[in-house]
């Protein structure tokens, strides 16, 4: 892979991410408001794990299978929508959380990881996205898998960094909400339901 091709790939990925936040970003903001962005890195880990599996699926040619199975795509998509609505409503109805950073949280890192994973994995068209994106920057005369590794790793790094930025930025706003913990629940729960709405309307987006 030449430097020119790699820079062109970076430019395309940068343009792709220069959009309003998608379901994964909204979920990260929501979790960071409640648990702090450092603890919510478990959400990022879940999101990136799902993206990694989607990239592998694209690499092994499963994009063709998914593209020919609209029923499978819809089931995966709507299960994810239902899950986000569920945790959003649960958050709205939860008692006001303690906003003190005492190193503890009622939500385990495992659950935060699963939220990130489920949100990202619930968009099966991400496989098609990667299957369409990567071949544009791969030299067929060179070994394929090293090139896929470079392209995939670059995407995950950029995605992870931006999720950290979204989460850290959200946590900075936390101090303004310390006097109204119930409002924090409403904002966080509403954002989760909003993420479900974004996921329900997304067509070709791995955010």
Q: What is the pLDDT of residues 76-123, one digit of tens each?
A: 667 767 766 877 787 777 665 554 444 445 678 899 999 999 988 887
Confidence of residue 205 (pLDDT cuts 50, 70, 90): very low
Tell me which residue of 115, 93, 89, 117 sits closest to 35, measured CA to CA: 115
Quickly tell me which residue has 């992870």 as its tokens: 160
Average pLDDT over residues 124-150: 80
Alpha carbon dihedral 117, 123, 124, 130, in 10-degree steps, equals -90
Is 33 exposed, middle or buried, given 0-12, 13-18 or 19+ CB atoms closer than 10 A? Answer: buried
Q: What is the pLDDT of residues 142-166, one digit of tens each?
A: 888 888 899 999 999 999 999 999 8
Query: What's the pLDDT score for residue 204?
Result: 43
* pLDDT > 70? residue 139: yes
Tell me which residue of 159, 133, 190, 154 sits closest to 44, measured CA to CA: 159
- What pTM was estimated for this model as a whole? 0.70
């Amino acid at each position: 892979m030449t430097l020119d091709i790699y820079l062109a790939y970076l430019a395309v990925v940068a343009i792709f991410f220069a959009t309003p936040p998608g379901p994964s970003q909204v979920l990260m903001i929501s979790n960071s408001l409640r648990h702090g962005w450092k603890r919510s890195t478990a959400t990022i880990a879940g999101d990136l794990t799902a993206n990694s599996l989607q990239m592998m699926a694209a690499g092994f040619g499963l994009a063709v299978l998914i593209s020919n199975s609209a029923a499978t795509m819809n089931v995966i998509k709507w299960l994810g929508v239902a899950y986000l609505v569920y945790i959003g409503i649960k958050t709205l109805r939860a008692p006001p959380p303690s906003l003190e950073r005492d190193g503890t949280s009622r939500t385990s890192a495992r659950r935060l990881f699963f939220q990130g994973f489920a949100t990202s994995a619930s968009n099966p068209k991400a496989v098609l996205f990667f299957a369409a994106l990567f071949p544009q920057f791969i030299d067929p005369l060179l070994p394929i898998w090293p090139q896929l590794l470079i392209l995939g790793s670059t995407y995950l790094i950029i995605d992870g960094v931006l999720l950290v930025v979204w989460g850290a930025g959200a946590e900075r706003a936390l101090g303004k909400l310390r006097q109204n913990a119930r409002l924090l629940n409403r904002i966080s729960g509403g954002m989760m339901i909003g993420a479900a709405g974004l996921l329900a309307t997304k067509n070709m987006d791995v955010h």
